[in-house]
Structure 1
Amino acid sequence: MLESTSWIEKNFSESPDAIFIFQNDALLISNQAAKTLLENYHFSLTYLCSLMQSVLAQQRNDTDDCFHCAIKEVMPNRAIPVTLKTADNQKLAYFLVVTPLDDAQHTYSLTLKSNAMLQRMDQVAQQRKLVQYVNRAHEEERKRLSQDLHDSIAQGVYSAIMGIRHLEPATAATDQAAFRSQAKLIENQLYETLSEVKGMALDIRPSVLDSFGLVPALKALAQRLEENTGITINVIARAETEHLSEDVQTVFYRIAQESMTNAIKHAKCAEINLILIQHPHLISLEIIDDGSGFDTQQMGSFNGHSLGLMNMNERVKALQGTFHIDSSVGNGTTVRAEFPVV
């Protein structure tokens, strides 16, 4: 029991949150973080007490803001924002949490939580979630490539090998027509396999993006998809992209690739317009299709394919850009990404 008490005292003393315990309006005890705040910031215990009484009054008010608030009913404490000033007049944001400890003796705990620390913890959690998502996306992409290699490339090579085995010297001497026909079949099979290998290479990393830049890469992508699907794809490019970083160009390309692929696979569209425009201080990419569209509220979790809509959104935000999807059932979809430029 004594050891447990020691652990509790140690946790209280070393907590990163500032904790004050009051009885009525008198301070009974505070931890080290709370003492540091009192030493460095310009606020009084009277100010804390007035905030405490305000929070307690709100907690006791049954008609505070809403009469039947489901969230309020399950929240034992109420947090309010507090701004503190340092000696050099800098402002730091905190949240104040009041916890009743003993109503009969009017004893309460006040906890000041750093807003910056909470935001940082939230950012770390979001980053971990994104890393997990990206890892899953990479594994799905590897799985797809593995299946393509097995089902398409390997089978094509195996068919060519079987064809070569039938090219016996005796056949060439006795039946030239059959020999040439078999050789032509093997040649066609190898050309088809080569075309599939090139297509996979383009999906993984288009060489034209590295060699010639974003606009030629987008036009080549649109032309390839148009030839493969018969869907009309118009590319309007009114932007200088040489000054864009490699990361921004890659993200623009992947957004165009993902958006057009989604439109082709799922939207039953007849036309896609890809518009890359440079504005004052920003450059924007829009992919507009006339397909079936979807309910963006139901797709709020951004469940997509390949990179997925969620991954597109996160990759754009990571480069200080903005990402937006405008769609409704029966009215097509517009995907828009913007990045600031100097």
Structure 2
Amino acid sequence: MLLKVALLLSMLIQLGAAIIAVSLIRRTRYNVSWILISSGFVLMAARRLFEFSTLFWETQLVSKEDVNSWIGVFISLLLFFGLIFIRQIFNWQDRVEQIRKEGEMQTLSAVIQAEEKARQVFARDLHDGLGPLLSSIKMTVSAVDLTKLDQTNKKIIERSCTATDEVIATLKEISNNLSPHLLKNYGLTKALETFAGRLFENSFIRFEMESDIGEKRYYYDLEISLYRVISELMNNSLKHAKPQCVKLKMSEERNLLRVEYRDDGCGFDQKKQTEKGTSGMGLENIRSRIKSLNGWLYIHTKPEDGVVVTIHIPLR
């Protein structure tokens, strides 16, 4: 009696599972793998129904063992091929995910390239348009005969010349920040050394740089993006961290460009800033630029413990 009840429950459960599986075939848009697996559920329910029937009808055209064996074979085949098709679905999903990531990288790269192109155009317009005009103004003011002026007007002319010199110097600095000429001409190491020298010149911050790439050149997107990233890190250190020392290390290993940036400043709590939504556009831009290069970025920091930023970029 107990065996009959157990077989009845098992039959009802497997029958319910088969009905549910078959009803989902349309939802899966008649996916081959799901059809095969549903067929396996149907055969499993049929085997339970056959086993239950043998408890009441003993006379059979074929033996119970033969029927169970053949049904088991068919179930195994259906489930095996169903799993093969499911594996193909997973492979297809992985391919779609890869295409999505590649699309994101291409989009980010296109945005960054457009931004850099706009910077270059603006820098050229400043240098070629406003630069000569300011130089002309300085020449005109300098041509004034100071001996014929009283002391007050002489001071005005001198201040005008000084102000014009400062504007020209500022213009050159803005133009260089928009489109770094040293980066184009000499590469990353020289450009970053010069940028750090100017940035930390009037501070008490000691800058140390270790690089084994020398004057080696890379493709433009990598150089300009890495230059922007490290420049942003240096600016952040100067403005917020108040460190005594900033260290930059660049090396190339196994077709991989490795960058390590660290300062001994006040650090910050990443988790709290992320929760408050105050991580800043600077860090988001840094992550976007590294992502556009298919690179990897890790930031280790905590309050009063400085910042260590590790960057790995695969080389073409």
Which band: TM-score by shorter chain?
Answer: 0.5 to 0.7
Q: Any unmatched runs of 5+ in structure 2?
A: 1-14, 45-81
* Corresponding residue number in structure 2 for 1:91: 88
* Corresponding residue number in structure 1 for 2:286: 312
Alpha-carbon spacing, 1:250–1:121, altered in 2? closer, same or farther (3 Å): closer
1:273 to 203, 227, 247: 247
Alpha-carbon spacing, 1:288–1:38, altered in 2? closer, same or farther (3 Å): closer
Alpha-carbon spacing, 1:32–1:249, altered in 2? closer, same or farther (3 Å): same
Cα deviation, 1:137-195, whole Å, max 9, x if unaligned, reads x7xx99xx9xxx9xxx9xxx8xx89x96xx998x9564365554333211110111112
* Corresponding residue number in structure 1 for 2:75: none
Alpha-carbon spacing, 1:92–1:238, altered in 2? closer, same or farther (3 Å): same
Alpha-carbon RMSD: 4.3
Percent of aligned pairs with the same amino acid: 21
Contact 1:42-1:85 at 8 Å conserved across structures: no
Return the alpha-carbon distance in structure 2 between the equivalents of residues 293 and 315 of structure 1: 22
- How far residue 45 of structure 1 moved from its aligned partner, in angstroms, is 3.3
Alpha-carbon spacing, 1:252–1:172, altered in 2? closer, same or farther (3 Å): closer
Return the alpha-carbon distance in structure 1 between the equivalents of residues 300 and 99 of structure 2: 31
Alpha-carbon spacing, 1:24–1:277, altered in 2? closer, same or farther (3 Å): closer
Q: Any unmatched runs of 5+ in structure 1?
A: 1-21, 51-82, 95-113
- How far residue 115 of structure 1 moved from its aligned partner, in angstroms, is 4.3
Return the alpha-carbon distance in structure 2 between the equivalents of residues 319 and 42 of structure 1: 43
Question: When the two structures are superposed, what TM-score results if normalisation uses the length of structure 1?
Answer: 0.57
Greater helix fraction, Structure 1 or Structure 2: 2
* Corresponding residue number in structure 1 for 2:166: 192
- How far residue 212 of structure 1 moved from its aligned partner, in angstroms, is 1.2
AA matched with 1:266: H
Contact 1:84-1:93 at 8 Å conserved across structures: no
* Corresponding residue number in structure 2 for 1:299: 273
AA matched with 1:211: N
Return the alpha-carbon distance in structure 1 between the equivalents of residues 234 and 37 of structure 2: 57
Return the alpha-carbon distance in structure 2 between the equivalents of residues 302 and 37 of structure 1: 49
Secondary structure at 1:235 match in 2: strand
Q: How does 1:1-342 map to 2 (within 5 A)?
A: 24-26=17-19, 27-28=22-23, 30-31=25-26, 34-38=29-33, 43-46=37-40, 84-86=83-85, 91-93=88-90, 115-116=93-94, 119=97, 127=104, 172=146, 174-175=148-149, 180-240=154-214, 242-300=216-274, 303-305=279-281, 308-341=282-315
- How far residue 221 of structure 1 moved from its aligned partner, in angstroms, is 0.7
Alpha-carbon spacing, 1:302–1:38, altered in 2? closer, same or farther (3 Å): same
Return the alpha-carbon distance in structure 2 between the equivalents of residues 298 and 217 of structure 1: 34
Contact 2:294-2:313 at 8 Å conserved across structures: yes
Larger Rg: 2
Which consecutive segments of 4 or more residues in structure 1 shift more than 6 A? Answer: none
- How far residue 263 of structure 1 moved from its aligned partner, in angstroms, is 0.6
Greater strand fraction, Structure 1 or Structure 2: 1
- How far residue 334 of structure 1 moved from its aligned partner, in angstroms, is 1.1
Contact 2:246-2:261 at 8 Å conserved across structures: yes
Secondary structure at 1:329 match in 2: coil
